[in-house]
Structure 1
């Protein structure tokens, strides 16, 4: 077996992924959700909403089931959804995307990431550059691909990368620059200069940009700018998104990839052997969602902004230093301001005892960088207002 990034190792035969000690471990999200259920704590750890999505979207799924849309859809996804995705890209970003050759529907964004990496990476001589902290599936997917992971640190409180460190991480061995913007777990939205530098480096080193944009409609006071919409970006970029975060349907697992036909084909070549196709009756429902009026999309961003402001105020009142997020569901706080030396111990101890569950940022970093993020904690604001009110009241007990 061979050590891989993020504490994973890969069997020599490629049969599976194991933790470094040989065990199959649950994710931190499952652990913290179980802790919340066991103790009655409010779960601000795992990033799932506790409210249903828009009625029009839910009703479209019911209608599709009743109409018999319950068998395998086309491998690319139903045409109506692919057309809706392309309409969305044109409407919001001015991108002209072909639904026939430049779009594929996936089983959520996580499958899209796996298919793209497995389709683009040639083996151990390739490198994948990611921004750290990173969503935990990134390291696992890179390990499955056999590539080497290179990371660029994002530092509290603004979590913007240093451009010199970014340039140093990218080389002629870089096959993929994996971008997550808006960023999970930090809530950062990358500056235009960062996106321009990613494009420059991709051209200079013949690399592909894989851009995970699932929080594209959840930004606060700053617009979302797809890297594919910038000069020089389209021809080297696969863009990934999904309906889960935008329409509060995380359990439906409907995502998509858009980009140049040859890059989409590389991902599709692998995707067809993963899940083959994705939930048939949910596809017309997500198509309906993508065609909702502008007021819906501005409304969900405004609502999430109010919720993150509530949560941030509560965290500050509890004595925590807080990073101001510019997008996503998430807010990062530094438990060191309450004297904590380790975020994992803080989350399982004082925070859980106060009746709130969150995720230590060390769950999103490689072992070599744990000390740099040891006291940081991620909180999710994607809950009902009354739940956040109660969470803030419980957090107040941390202040003594």
Structure 2
């Protein structure tokens, strides 16, 4: 007699009950429908600059195909430490306080697994990046959500943190500039929050992968604030600022005890980040600032374009001050975030991500990545304008002047990118 087995019952319940990523679910739709313009995945449309790719190719010619230290190439760690010091005046020992990871995502996972025990609570502002809560759940920890709102610039406050703390709270997650809202945080607000964290002996995991993509004001590194270096795990990487998403290389910086614990897990799972990606990251840090600044300038132009366009088509839109996402309010259309995204995809072949993929507080919004090309952005906004007009009680003609980006700043051209029928 053969027993019938429900194999799904053999899966860890924490994994079985975990919903798939709301971002990746919509990203997969791109491959199924032709002619889609994607504003969905947060990936630069720029190719990794040539000198970075060339460094990788040259390393292969020299036979760099071996493992590195579990911590990563020492030369890369030294350059990371130098970059953090030069930018934020925070010192880390490259031998014991910096770990090169397979993307920032691995750094997040390692930090959660190294620091959390079952039942520990983690404070997570919402809307927030989709990976934070699942990484907590997979450790047996409990995510505790704190709502932020457009009216307050999607900023978390020290008072909100204080109210959410319980005897089980162990970690506060911060992510500024923020994905999906593009919000940054004022230094004073950050100081108040970190004072609360220190008073309650909390650890802060600060995801600062968008730090260099700050357009308004200056980014404040959490580790640079008084009393925060030892209690902060600083996460950062190369995907966004250097257009290196597919290279999958990031890093974690923190006190030696935290990094040592994270490295133990890393060495049994990933062992080390690929050497070719590490060589590329080293070149990016040494010689990549000029190209990086060009890309950031282009993102800033696109940022202004999309915010103006959404507001003119009748969608209130908080002005993002960092990252490369806009988070327009679509409640006036009478559609939920999911309905808006699905109908826009079906009717206009434009892909955006429903705001509730980033938590309940994101309902009524959609995330639009303006990392797409200028031409694709223009066409996508035109299609979205037509879609929105059909759903609003009163429509209006929409035109928006824009400056066409060119290599020579003196040769700017003005055109019209949007026109509602």
TM (norm. structure 2) is 0.85
Query: Cα–Cα, structure 1 residues 201 and 266, in superposed 2: closer, same or farther, change >3 Å?
Result: farther
Instruction: Specify the structure having the higher radius of gyration (Cα).
Output: 2
What is the alpha-carbon distance in structure 1 between the residues aligned to residue 197 and residue 11 of structure 2?
32
> What SS class does the counterpart of residue 333 from structure 1 fall into?
coil
Deviation at 1:343, TM superposition (A): 0.8
Choose which of 42, 48, 66 in structure 1 pairs with 2:43.
48
Higher relative contact order (CA 8 A, sep 6+): 1
Partner of 2:162: 167
Partner of 2:23: 29
Deviation at 1:190, TM superposition (A): 1.2
Q: What are the Cα deviations for residues 164-213 of structure 1, in whole angstroms up to 9, with x where unaligned?
A: 22211123422111111111111111111332123212221111111101
Deviation at 1:106, TM superposition (A): 0.4
Q: What are the Cα deviations for residues 60-110 of structure 1, in whole angstroms up to 9, with x where unaligned?
A: 111112211112111000111111101110111111211101101000011
Partner of 2:311: 316
What is the alpha-carbon distance in structure 1 between the residues aligned to residue 159 and residue 213 of structure 2?
29
Partner of 1:142: 136
Choose which of 341, 346, 360 in structure 1 pairs with 2:340.
346
What is the alpha-carbon distance in structure 2 between the residues aligned to residue 119 and residue 156 of structure 1?
34
What is the alpha-carbon distance in structure 1 between the residues aligned to residue 20 and residue 277 of structure 2?
28
- Give RMSD over aligned pairs: 2.0
Alpha-carbon contact 2:241-2:296 (below 8 Å) kept: no
> What SS class does the counterpart of residue 287 from structure 2 fall into?
coil
Deviation at 1:393, TM superposition (A): 2.1
Partner of 1:130: 124
The alignment status of 1:373 with 2:367, answered yes or no, reads: no
Partner of 2:358: 364
> What SS class does the counterpart of residue 43 from structure 2 fall into?
coil
Structure 1 spans left out of the alignment, 5+ residues: 1-10
Partner of 1:207: 202
What is the alpha-carbon distance in structure 2 between the residues aligned to residue 275 and residue 373 of structure 1?
33
> What SS class does the counterpart of residue 145 from structure 1 fall into?
coil
Partner of 2:375: 386
What is the alpha-carbon distance in structure 2 between the residues aligned to residue 295 and residue 154 of structure 1?
35
Query: Cα–Cα, structure 1 residues 172 and 298, in superposed 2: closer, same or farther, change >3 Å?
Result: farther
- Greater CA drift, 217-226 or 306-315: 306-315
The alignment status of 1:18 with 2:16, answered yes or no, reads: yes
Partner of 2:397: none
Q: 5 Å matches for 1:195-234?
A: 195-234=190-229
Query: Cα–Cα, structure 1 residues 341 and 387, in superposed 2: closer, same or farther, change >3 Å?
Result: closer
Partner of 1:3: none
Alpha-carbon contact 1:340-1:375 (below 8 Å) kept: no
The alignment status of 1:70 with 2:65, answered yes or no, reads: yes
Partner of 2:250: 255
What is the alpha-carbon distance in structure 2 between the residues aligned to residue 285 and residue 330 of structure 1?
26
Deviation at 1:331, TM superposition (A): 0.5
Query: Cα–Cα, structure 1 residues 271 and 198, in superposed 2: closer, same or farther, change >3 Å?
Result: farther
Structure 2 spans left out of the alignment, 5+ residues: 1-8, 391-421
TM (norm. structure 1) is 0.90
Alpha-carbon contact 1:109-1:240 (below 8 Å) kept: yes
Aligned length: 380
